[in-house]
Amino acid sequence: MIKHAIRLSTLLTTAFVLSLLAATPADAGEKKEKPGMVYELRTYTTLEGRLPALHARFRDHTLQLFGKHGITNVMYWTPADKKNTLVYLIAHASREAADKSWKAFGSDAEWKKVRAQSVKDGKILTGVKRQYLTPTNYSPTKSGGLAGLVNEKGMVFELRTYTTNEGKLDNLHSRFSDHTIALFKKHGMTNLIYTTPIDEKTASNTLVYVIAHKSRDAAKKSWKAFIGDPDWKKAYRNSIKDGKLVTKVQSEYLNATDYSPSK
């Protein structure tokens, strides 16, 4: 009878432990990817002298209204070498959710009031560009936030866009996932977001990503060390044995605004 009781107790204890393990995944501390999550990269160009008015509108009203309508504020920047420009990154639960959120935002009575007040002294914007992006499977953040990735104030961000030869995007993804992002980290760069456009025209040949540096000088040193790294040279040579991958690289250095959720 005693042996039976001990055996029953052991079985119950084992079952309890297994239930805890099942309820607590090994990576419970990691942020889970939300299915269908998409990013939206926007660039606003203002009339001369009107960028402060745009910043004020975003700082005091727009970010809050975005949140109200289900839009996640990720990052807001101003280009280091370009005036009258705001670049920002937001996230949506899905492409369809983005359309609904923008429709609700545009018809919001509070937004209409804010916009009308902000342009009393004249028009602010001269141009708006937008691009919907989906995170790659090796992107450090896939769920709309940079928490834990950007830890220092005053960091300099770098937005880079690569255009590939036809049929070479997968090769580029492999090079980044297997080699490049680890080498970036090795040389002091912070990997933030890696994405591909949703637009059919660019989806098959474009990689858009954001990395961060401690300063502009640090960026220069990191790139020099990266390019001279024997491991990078080997990975690069192996990746282009069947043909060159990248045809065009665009790079833009950015500084976080004072109201950006991540700085």
> What pLDDT band is residue 230 in, cutting at 50, 70 and 90?
very high
Q: What pLDDT is recorded for position 113? A: 98
- For residue 90, what are the contacts with CB-CB under 8 A and spacing of at least 6? 39, 40, 42, 66, 71, 72, 73, 74
Q: What pLDDT is recorded for position 32? A: 42
50 vs 30, which has greater pLDDT?
50
3-7, 21-25, 35-39, 90-94 — which is least confidently predicted? Answer: 21-25
Collapsing DSSP states into helix, strand and coil, what is residue 240? coil
Span 14-35, average pLDDT: 37
Distance CA 34, CA 101 (A): 17
Distance CA 104, CA 112 (A): 11
3-17, 116-130, 207-221 — which is least confidently predicted? Answer: 3-17
Q: What is the pLDDT of residues 35-85, one digit of tens each?
A: 568 999 999 999 999 999 999 999 999 999 999 999 999 999 999 999 999
Span 101-119, average pLDDT: 98
Q: What is the pLDDT of residues 142-175, one digit of tens each?
A: 655 565 566 577 899 999 999 999 999 999 999 9
Distance CA 223, CA 204 (A): 27
Is domain 38-256 in CATH 3.30.70.100, yes or no? yes
Distance CA 152, CA 262 (A): 9
> What's the start-to-end Cα distance of the chain, in Å?
66
Distance CA 223, CA 195 (A): 21
Report percent pLDDT > 90 for the chain. Answer: 78
Q: Which residues pair with 75 in a beta bridge?
A: 89
Query: Which one, of 147, 175, 177, 172, lies nearest residue 161 by Cα?
Result: 172
Confirm if 195 and 208 have CB atoms less than 8 A apart.
yes
Average pLDDT, the chain: 87
Q: What pLDDT is recorded for position 146? A: 63
